[in-house]
Amino acid sequence: MYAAGLGELGKHGSLVHPELGASHRPGMVTTSIPLAQDAPNIFGVQDTCLHCNLCTNNCPADAIPAEEFVLTEGVRRWLTDVGKCYVYSRLRAQYCHICVDVCPYVHKANGDVEKKALYKDYMAKRKEAGYKTPAWFPDEDDGALTSRK
């Protein structure tokens, strides 16, 4: 998807689309039709990820490294600790996707004022609840992430 120009790889390991941010779920279609090869769409995600630690600081599993990355064909890849992430993302009733939710690219690249306002409100609630608070926290403590106190 990166090579096809659909987005850049973020520190959290997800593809970041310039309009949709990281909060999208791309699908795949296989075909035998010959297709022209596109080029990567570089719009600043990887450079921002070098200095942004929102996903790292909010991950309840501490699974996202702050600085360590590897280069694969010139593309940075931060190596998420899958073992730590799995406990939070797959072994609970609610899927933890905080790393995607806190990524500022939901509004950063596309300049969407409404998405920016929603993002700021969400981040204020995360700050109030505690950054490392897991996604299922609202069910366990007064709904701090679903309604203002």
Ranges of beta strands (E only) in the chain are 8-9, 15-16, 69-72, 75-78
**Average confidence score pLDDT of the chain:** 84
Partners of residue 140 on adjacent β-strands? none
- Three-state DSSP at 12 gives coil
pLDDT by residue (tens digit) across 65-122?
988 899 998 889 999 998 999 888 777 667 788 899 899 988 888 888 999 999 999 8
Q: What one-letter code names the amino acid at 48?
A: T
| Integer Cα distance of 15 and 75 in angstroms | 12
The answer to whether the CB of 69 falls within 8 A of the CB of 79 is yes
Task: Tell me the pTM.
Answer: 0.79
pLDDT of residue 74: 86
What are the residue boundaries of the structural domains of the chain, listed by start? Answer: 8-26+39-140
